[in-house]
Copies of this chain bind each other. A is one copy, B any other.
């Protein structure tokens, strides 16, 4: 087996759990947030900086890497780790989410999805087997099965058919994946906002005995209480001794609520994307750095933060960098936001360890302003 999940302890105050995920590129302490490196780079960051802020694992996107530079080139380069200079674990998605997001540019069939590249309109075909082939070339530690993430407004009938196809595709992915000793393949539970369909999806996928399970189809625009409700009944369906990954979640409140419900792994472009728009996550809530009120603000972005950006620069300087479109602004803000989220996850792990995650959440919300 490529990975092994070690359950360290369960929180006495919540459903949260502390774990260690052993992978071919090192051990990950969970719960953990995975910075997103879509195109073989976490935007604006070097691998060394990712390590400085204690990133344990990153996510990269199969769809983007398949189009540019191409998975065969990455394979020739010796795999993604070597290509991008990152020697810690990497998780890749299946490419499905991006392909399904293409709307009119894609057509779903039982065999797979036909789609046109968002870059040059060229025609491609993504099947379960192809998704595995690409991820095998990339050499990620954790691969994801090709699933369909249905639109948030899809009806029950659509979701039911979709989850059944997702199971059939998961099976085909498993059969196509031969490199199981080096790369772990995770299943993805779908089923929308319907409890019985989530149960059906989980039950079908558990039969396939994947080394880890993700919950997909959440954080796609639905109200947060609804997402938490789905987690309430879906998480207990997942095996206790395997890692549980909630796809696409990266706001502090959603991370906390999902950990409390027993999830272990998370990814989201939000912290890095809003950073590049000039929005910082801080211990006092969001800071929009371009706001005029920061013009002569000679204090750190976040006075409680220990990151390089906050230890070195003022809001006035950061505002200047954003007002003048300087690259350093994007760098410093990205660095801070990722540090903030990873530091939050560290705080969460410590709170679980001390059986006080609900207290931690209360304290965090009071300051952050939820």
Q: Which A residues fall within an 8 A CB radius of B?
A: 39-41, 43-46, 64, 68-69, 73, 76-78, 83-85, 295-296, 298, 312-314, 316-317, 319-321, 323-324, 326-328, 330-331
Among candidates B46, B83, B316, B330, residue contacting A317 with C-beta atoms closer than 8 Å: B83
Inter-chain contact A85/B327, CB cutoff 8 Å:
no
Copies of this chain: 2
In the A-B complex, list the 5 residue pairs whose CB atoms are closest, starting with the nearest. Answer: A44-B327, A69-B320, A41-B328, A39-B324, A85-B312
Alpha-carbon gap, A298 to B85, bound state (A): 13
Interchain nearest-CB distance for A293 vs B (Å)? 14
Using Cβ atoms and an 8 Å threshold, which residues of chain B touch A324? 39, 64, 68
Using Cβ atoms and an 8 Å threshold, which residues of chain B touch A298? 76-78
Contacts A73-B316, A85-B312, A317-B77 known; A68 to B323 CB distance under 8 Å? yes
Inter-chain contact A84/B317, CB cutoff 8 Å:
yes
Alpha-carbon gap, A77 to B44, bound state (A): 27
Alpha-carbon gap, A176 to B213, bound state (A): 72
Interchain nearest-CB distance for A6 vs B (Å)? 32
Inter-chain contact B41/A77, CB cutoff 8 Å:
no
Chief secondary structure at chain A's binding surface: loop
Interchain nearest-CB distance for A302 vs B (Å)? 17
Alpha-carbon gap, A330 to B327, bound state (A): 9
A-B contact pairs, 17 of them (CB 8 A): A39-B320, A40-B321, A41-B326, A43-B326, A43-B328, A44-B331, A64-B324, A68-B323, A69-B316, A73-B316, A76-B298, A77-B314, A77-B316, A78-B298, A85-B313, A327-B327, A327-B331
Alpha-carbon gap, A323 to B312, bound state (A): 32
Using Cβ atoms and an 8 Å threshold, which residues of chain B touch A69? 295, 316, 319-320, 323
Inter-chain contact B73/A328, CB cutoff 8 Å:
no
Inter-chain contact A45/B328, CB cutoff 8 Å:
yes
Using Cβ atoms and an 8 Å threshold, which residues of chain B touch A43? 326-328
Among candidates B39, B295, B331, residue contacting A73 with C-beta atoms closer than 8 Å: B295
Which partner residue on chain B sits nearest A64 by CB separation?
B324
